[in-house]
Structure 1
Amino acid sequence: MSATHFSVSRRNVIRSLVSGSLLMPGILSELMAGESPRDSAAANGPLSVKQPHFAAKAKRVIFLFATGGVSHIDTFDPKSTDGGRDGNGKEKLMGSHFKWQANQRCGTVVTDLFPHLREQLDEVCVIRSMKSAHFDHTEAAVGMHTGSATFTRPSMGSWISYGLGTVNQNLPSFMVIAPHLPYGGTQVYASDFLPAYHQGTRVIPGTQPIENLVPRSKQQRVQELELGLLSQFNSTHLQRRQDDSNLAARIKSFETAFQMQTAGPEAFDVNQETDATHESYGLKRGETSSFGWQCLVARRLAERGVRFIELVDTGSRPNWDSHGEMKDHIGLAKSVDQPMAGLIRDLKQRGLLDETLVVWATEFGRTPAKEGKNGRGHHGNCFSIWLAGGGIKGGIVHGETDDIGRNIVSGKVDVHDLHATILHQMGIDHTRLTYRHAGRDFRLTDVHGKIIREILA
């Protein structure tokens, strides 16, 4: 197509949109000049890159959340006590249902539920002394994500998006890959009082991860002109309502949606990966709904500059909430063990692990006493999580529980401490990352939180 023909076509498009009479001369000249509506947005937009408070160890976070309450006793803090009773003589104790072994290089122990992950434990810091203030699924899950189980607060991913922005304006700064929502629903990735463009974008594993992502027309230049015109009107409208964050968020969401039409499908297309990479994640070629797919997409999003990526492992329903039978953990662990190990190994091989903080967590652990036939109840007094990469010491264990896994003996870590540490690795002082709302300054860690310096490399 000749330049002259194309110029005429653009004029026809613009005139067809606004009948030739509603367009201000300044807007018309900009569009005719072919100026991209995104040129200035990337440099000055609400998600533009912001400088951290100090040099960061990590550039991004991949947060793996196992909903339902994974038993620490049967995974990362195995106990052998079985058949006895607790100190009150009322509850029958039940030790780990599974055998355990140590990683031969670092000595960290994990049960046979995670044989693949065991081989990567020299890159992992296991925290056995996490404590939750709540025993209810919803409160504990929301607390793990937002730092508050009793009041609506922004999620950790939203705070990091707010504090640092994103290096890729063609993708959201905060993405959540979730086949089903965990306890707490959308609150686990909500932005609450932070500007709405910091809310997580949900991706549903499958053949169409985000609805309507494929452009409706192959004439991309025509669509750019339409959106360029819309951008000019939106900008004028927003200037008269500069304190309306919801309007700004809606405008930004439409801009990001357009940009994702190109960047999104490419990022989700794991068929570009080699057979060896698929095998590493335990992923069959063409499969789009497994946790292996989630983990591989997470690595691809990390490479492309997404700041915070959460993967929600809800199991296959029932989730990890094993009240009646601990053998339920077998299938649940099998679906995530190799993908998680593959993610750590792949990030390391590509030189990304040092600058990517990988965190695996659940909302609470499970009781050392038997419940039902061979199950366990909710237990927030102590449970296990793990971290890898992003300036965290690998091959270590932090904290200790008692002989039966009921209480913390040393190294207690609460959710505020975990959040403070994650922010620290991202170059953020958790006491300085604040947002003014309802007459006072709020922060992710509220008035709490101490950095777990013992685990920092």
Structure 2
Amino acid sequence: MSDNPYPCGTNYAPPGDPRTRSRRWFLQECGVGLGAIALGSLLGKEAAAASAADPLAARTPPLPARAKNVILLFMGGGPSQFEMWDYKPTLARLDGTLPPAELLEGYRSAFINPSSKLLGPRYKFSPAGGAGLHVSELLPHTAKVLDDLCVVRSATTDAFNHAPAQLFMQTGSQQFGRPSFGAWSVYGLGSESQDLPAFVVFNSGKKGPSAGAANWGSGFLPTVYSGVEFRSVGDPVLYLSSPDGLTRDLERRTVDAVNAVNRQNLDAVGDPEIATRINSYEMAYRMQASAPEAVDLAAEPQHVLDAYGAKPGEPSFANNCVLARRLVERGVRFVQLFHESWDQHGNLKRDLEQNCLDTDRASAALVTDLKQRGMLEDTLVIWCGEFGRTPMVEGGDDGRDHHPNAFTMWMAGGGTKPGLVYGETDELGFNVADKPVHVHDLHATLLRLLGFDHERLTYRFQGRDFRLTDVHGHVVEDLLA
């Protein structure tokens, strides 16, 4: 790239060039473009200039950071806290009776039937860890690492349908078109990997997430910050392998030729999506060598695979957990694992047992593995769904409905307080009784762990400064180590 005094990485337009008379060019190219304003305010002029030249360049956050990487374990569908984390003796005692009338007074929801009877927990609970939190028999492996977890039993959200609730948990909005938490993280921090995407996504379980790719989308941010979906079997990305007869040298020369044209177009137009296209071609070329090695589970020692319950060649949540650790080791900033579906409107025991069998061992092994490798200190692991389940039965006697008022999630590492059990619900688990953590508060806290003030990590779009927490949220200091 030639010497350039302008922060957006484009060549200087000489006098008389049409660009010098273009308002659009001036706004996009002279350091007062919308993205440049946002990054200039957030990171400073030098960092903003570096970001414009390489949008995925690693950047230092403005505040002291506790975490530099994130692994998000998303249990799509709404895991039942009553069968896993939030033991309610009163609910067990009142099993089969109608809920108190005052509990539902003034409450309206499509998923609350006032004539539904209370449903006590279907499994045994036992105290675990130093805090003595009662944990279900469905989670024997997670119970063993409880002292490394920060468990929040007072999470609450605004949405009660799957797609809006997943979007709300991921983007801070129930509407499509907003950047995901992963995209915001990469926008602020860049990537430490030159050979792999900054943001990688895996899916497992019966189906994909209800909100689809919007869960890892970049919204109005440049698409270079969106997640890249990997497969856990075969080529991680389709068509990554070269066709027969195409040499590595020819591929390199082809990419160089295409990107030379793209750079000319970028200089003339200034569209950040052209920079994304250039980055995509370069990343795809480098990934042909780096990605197969990164996802090669056969390279893992057998005792590690056994700890996770992973089996190379068989797609599973366990395999994806091992891959998440391998990618973070190689500098990937954000790895998101979706496991669907936890939506047990019926067949609660059968399906919940299978989901826990699929995820409990691997989730606990991931925390232990990161800790043993010295990576847990700066890797933030998050386990959550989009909402919880009702304390009342749905339909017959083996299902629970959606419930946004109160649910449980946990975090580990990355500056969170280990061994903490935070917040509690009322005696029936219907509402938060102490220390509520709204989704906006969660996002504010997670960004603070990454070194950002959630009110200042913004991007100007359509005349407004947007942020992950919208106009809400506060950092829950008690969750920080």
**Counterpart of 2:259?**
231
Classify the secondary structure of the residue corresponding to 1:183: coil
Q: Distance in 2 between matches of 1:340 and 1:262?
A: 29
Offset, 1:105: 3.6
Question: 159, 165, 184: which is aligned to 2:184?
Answer: 159
Q: Distance in 2 between matches of 1:259 and 1:299?
A: 20
Q: Is the aligned partner of 1:364 residue 2:390? A: no
Classify the secondary structure of the residue corresponding to 1:78: coil
Counterparts of 1:149-228 in structure 2 under 5 Å? 149-150=174-175, 152-179=177-204, 180-216=207-243, 219-228=247-256
Q: Distance in 1 between matches of 2:385 and 2:376?
A: 22
Confirm or deny: 8 A CA contact 2:232 2:295 kept in the other structure.
no
Offset, 1:218: 6.9
Q: Deviations over 1:76-103 (max 9, x none)?
A: 1122322232112833111110101122
Confirm or deny: 8 A CA contact 1:142 1:183 kept in the other structure.
no
Confirm or deny: 8 A CA contact 2:387 2:404 kept in the other structure.
yes
83-92 or 292-301, which moves further after superposition? Answer: 83-92
**Aligned-partner residue type, residue 48 of structure 1:** A
Aligned length: 412
**Counterpart of 1:423?**
447
**Counterpart of 1:348?**
371
Offset, 1:234: 1.8
**Counterpart of 2:6?**
none
**Aligned-partner residue type, residue 445 of structure 1:** T
Offset, 1:212: 1.4
Change (3 A) 1:42 1:379: closer
Identity %: 43
Q: Deviations over 1:188-232 (max 9, x none)?
A: 111111001111101133223311122335732332222223222
Q: Deviations over 1:409-450 (max 9, x none)?
A: 011111111111111111111111110100111011111111
Q: Distance in 2 between matches of 1:154 and 1:61?
A: 16
Confirm or deny: 8 A CA contact 1:127 1:384 kept in the other structure.
yes
Confirm or deny: 8 A CA contact 1:42 1:48 kept in the other structure.
yes
Classify the secondary structure of the residue corresponding to 2:59: coil
Classify the secondary structure of the residue corresponding to 2:393: coil
Question: 446, 449, 457: which is aligned to 2:473?
Answer: 449
**Counterpart of 1:48?**
57
Confirm or deny: 8 A CA contact 2:235 2:241 kept in the other structure.
no
Unmatched segments (≥5 aa) in structure 2: 1-49, 102-113
329-338 or 246-255, which moves further after superposition? Answer: 246-255
TM-score if structure 1 supplies the norm length? 0.87
Change (3 A) 1:122 1:446: same
42-51 or 122-131, which moves further after superposition? Answer: 42-51
Confirm or deny: 8 A CA contact 2:156 2:439 kept in the other structure.
yes
Q: Distance in 2 between matches of 1:288 and 1:94?
A: 36
Offset, 1:44: 3.9
**Counterpart of 1:102?**
127
Offset, 1:171: 0.9
**Aligned-partner residue type, residue 180 of structure 2:** S
Counterparts of 1:86-101 in structure 2 under 5 Å? 86-88=99-101, 90-101=115-126
Return structure 1 stretches of 4+ with deviation > 6 angstroms. none
Change (3 A) 1:218 1:273: farther
Q: Distance in 2 between matches of 1:77 and 1:239?
A: 57
Q: Distance in 2 between matches of 1:218 and 1:404?
A: 64
Question: 384, 407, 410: which is aligned to 1:386?
Answer: 410
Q: Distance in 1 between matches of 2:54 and 2:215?
A: 25
Unmatched segments (≥5 aa) in structure 1: 1-40
Q: Distance in 1 between matches of 2:428 and 2:100?
A: 11
Q: Is the aligned partner of 1:61 residue 2:70? A: yes
Change (3 A) 1:417 1:325: same
Q: Distance in 1 between matches of 2:53 and 2:286?
A: 16
Offset, 1:108: 2.3
TM-score if structure 2 supplies the norm length? 0.83
**Counterpart of 1:111?**
136
Confirm or deny: 8 A CA contact 1:435 1:443 kept in the other structure.
yes
Q: Distance in 2 between matches of 1:188 and 1:382?
A: 22
Cα RMSD after superposing both structures: 1.7
Q: Distance in 1 between matches of 2:131 and 2:287?
A: 42
Q: Distance in 2 between matches of 1:250 and 1:225?
A: 17
Q: Distance in 1 between matches of 2:274 and 2:282?
A: 13
